[in-house]
Amino acid sequence: MPDSTYAPTLGAIFHPEATTFRVWAPKPRTVVLILVHGDETERRLPMPEVESGFRELTVTGVLPGDRYAYELDGSGPFPDPCSRSQPDGVHGFSEVVDPWSFDWRDKQWTRPRFPDLVIYEAHIGTLTREGTFDSAVALFEQLVDMGISAIELMPVAAFPGRWNWGYDGVSQFAPVEVYGGSEGLRRLVDAAHQAGLAVILDVVYNHFGPAGNYTGLYSDGYVTDRYPTPWGQAMNFDGPGSEHTRAFFRENLRHWQHEYRIDGFRFDATHAIFDSSPVHILADLSAAVESSSGERPYLIAESHENDPRYVAARDEGGFGFDALWADDFHHTIRTVLQNENDGYLRGYDGTARSVGHALRQGFLYEGQFDLGFGAHRGKPARDVPWHSFVYCIQNHDQVGNRPFGQRLNVTAAQADFRAATLLMLLLPQIPMLFQGQEFLASEPFLYFTDHEGDLGRAVTEGRRREFGAFRAFSDPASILAIPDPEDEATFLRSILDHDDAAYGLGQLARALHKEALSLRASDPVLREYREQRLPIFTASRGRSLVVRFEAKSGTRWIVVNFGDAVSLELAGAKAPSIELQSNEGRFGGNSVGARFAAGKLQLPAHSSVFLSEWP
């Protein structure tokens, strides 16, 4: 049965006695419900207007699996904007779903505390060879064994075609059929909870995809031309009719929360969610998903703004989120590991000193001019909890938005990648891995779409134009070498081969992740830093960085060296114990060990080490 605090008001609201069909459609003069029950012929039922452009009709004898659509002013049929299922794709009839018939087996589930999360970002279509919700379940046991506590799904709302990153979603309430549809997603969440994994869902509330979006036939109020986005019209959250658009997305978020038991949400490109209302839509959504007890799903924003407003309390003018993606850490690490200073990375100098600034502040940019951004960017966030920053050294954007989709563990030296991995996994900020990173997957993660006709050709040409301004692609032949997003081979090349995790370097890299995450969970000093924002002390010399943590439980150091062997002083150290090293042979390293003597740490080249000292 549904949660007592949740009562859906949009779409086909199933009840055994009678199903209510309700849609916001102020634009057409007439709306006709076309209903297909089993193999019967279509029933055509005029939809009366009940209030403010809403059409509503309650029909008896409707069963789950029945198909329906709407005819608007004699044209159509068109799918329901709030459809819970699109079994024949985004252009087909919608399907009636009973969201309360699923037999949940996660009764003992208690989600992890947010500060203790370790996130694994996954794209269902390429995570396994089958590319379905059900096939992903087979990986859960090994993820939990490694120390992962949450899987973050890239968007699953129905999109056009057979494969897509998910950011072209158009049926916001319907899990895409190629992954397994609504029941498949429920099985995934149920299995994740039984395994001990929280499920975070990536939602896209800044634009609709370019194909299969029929909302404009029902109302002009869903989108607006007042604000530009790189992907099309922005959502209308503050103009005429915006009260209904806001209600649409409030209900969408609550539907994932209650009908699928999703534990948290990552909001895509929140800097492109525009709203000048007294209550910003993000604060509105944060309030909407709170239960009567004050608990709510995890909320994470993706934004390049470096703005602590996202994680400030709503009564202090904030949005009430838990965390935001803090890309400065990724950018500082990438430019240290690779001599890369183009495009959005122009504002990063590739020094260990910048890495230290980013991790002890949370952000690197706190209002300075960013060359790559072309403007001043960011605000100080020095009183924000460490767990309000999500850190990564790879994610879908930072891999897939490169012309050939290369992973950092492929393009950077493996020893440096291991050193950066140990650093990230032990910091008090929330660590996030991108699928396959834990076993050094060599497959690229490419940009792929499956659009038809002119739209498909436009995507291919646009992808090549995007990189045409780069020096490396000044030769037309090099432009043509960029994988075509519309080519099936581009999608197939992005599918992970999990056999790599079972042997060789993949197996050893996975062992490093497991050992580091075990230490992260058990060490009392690291735990204290997750509980409160104790100061992080850093000191850099050349390509090496010393990070020091001081708490009641003792002192800890992470020392990382991206250059030649070095001798470093550890402030305050007396006789620290070396607990873990990235270049141990059991992790694929060269087994040259660090040692502490005469007040100095002798650290091998291209390695990192964790040291502890008790009070």
Domain range for 69 = 11-95
Of 513, 448, 438, 481, nearest to 126 by C-alpha is: 448
In sequence order, the β-bridge partners of residue 568 are 601
Of 573, 536, 543, nearest to 560 by C-alpha is: 543
Q: Tell me the three state secondary structure of residue 469.
A: coil
R_g (Cα) of the chain, nearest Å = 25
Burial of 314 per CB tally in 10 Å (0-12, 13-18, 19+): middle
| Active-site residue set | 268, 302
What is the count of structural domains for the chain?
2
List the end-to-end C-alpha distance of the chain, in Å, as a whole number: 53
pLDDT of residue 38: 79
At position 494, the amino acid (one-letter code) is S
User: Is the torsion defined by CA of 122, 124, 129, 135 positive or negative?
Assistant: positive
pLDDT digits (tens, 9 = 90+) for 510-539: 999 999 999 999 999 999 999 999 999 999
What are the backbone angles phi and psi of residue 608, rounded to the nearest 5°?
-135, 160
pLDDT digits (tens, 9 = 90+) for 490-500: 999 999 999 99
Token duo for residue 476: 């037309």
In a domain, 581, yes or no: yes
Q: Tell me the three state secondary structure of residue 88.
A: coil
Residue 499: count of CB within 10 angstroms of its CB: 10
For the chain, the 3-state helix, strand and coil shares in percent, each to the nearest 5, are 30, 20, 45
Of 555, 535, 534, 537, nearest to 546 by C-alpha is: 537
In a domain, 220, yes or no: no
Of 305, 290, 297, nearest to 266 by C-alpha is: 297
Residues in CB range of 498: below 8 A, 6 or more apart: 128, 139, 439
Residue 375: count of CB within 10 angstroms of its CB: 7
β-bridge pairing 223-224 and 234-235: antiparallel
In a domain, 35, yes or no: yes
What are the backbone angles phi and psi of residue 260, rounded to the nearest 5°?
-125, -5
In a domain, 353, yes or no: no
In a domain, 18, yes or no: yes
In a domain, 90, yes or no: yes
pLDDT digits (tens, 9 = 90+) for 113-163: 999 999 999 999 999 999 999 999 999 999 999 999 999 999 999 999 999
Token duo for residue 100: 């309360």
Q: Tell me the three state secondary structure of residue 568.
A: strand
What are the backbone angles phi and psi of residue 526, rounded to the nearest 5°?
-60, -35
Residue 588: which CATH number? 2.60.40.1180
pLDDT of residue 471: 63
User: Is the torsion defined by CA of 549, 554, 555, 558 positive or negative?
Assistant: negative
pLDDT of residue 2: 47
Please give the distance of CA 474 from its chain centroid, rounded to a whole number.
Answer: 33
Residue 54: which CATH number? 2.60.40.10
Instruction: Render the burial of 14-49: b for 16+ CB within 10 Å, e for the rest.
Output: beeeebbbbbbbebbeebbbbbbbeeeeeeeeebee
pLDDT of residue 294: 66
Q: Is residue 222 within 8 Å of residue 33, measured between CB atoms?
A: no
In a domain, 46, yes or no: yes
Kindly give the parts of the chain with pLDDT less than 70.
1-4, 292-294, 468-472, 474
> Last residue of a domain, which of 44, 65, 95?
95
> Last residue of a domain, which of 34, 64, 95?
95
pLDDT of residue 477: 77
Which residue stretches of 265-413 are H helix? 281-288, 327-337, 352-361, 396-400, 408-411
Q: Is residue 33 within 8 Å of residue 45, measured between CB atoms?
A: yes
Residues in CB range of 384: below 8 A, 6 or more apart: 308, 311, 362, 533
Token duo for residue 121: 């970002």
Of 394, 380, 261, 274, nearest to 325 by C-alpha is: 394
Long-range CB pairs of 135-139 (<8 Å, 24+ gap) are 136/188, 137/187, 137/188, 137/191, 137/192, 139/498
pLDDT of residue 472: 65
> Last residue of a domain, which of 59, 76, 95?
95
In a domain, 74, yes or no: yes
**What's the 3-state SS for 433-466?**
EECCHHHCCCCCCCCCCCCCHHHHHHHHHHHHHH
Model pTM? 0.97
pLDDT of residue 215: 97
What are the backbone angles phi and psi of residue 236, rounded to the nearest 5°?
-90, 100
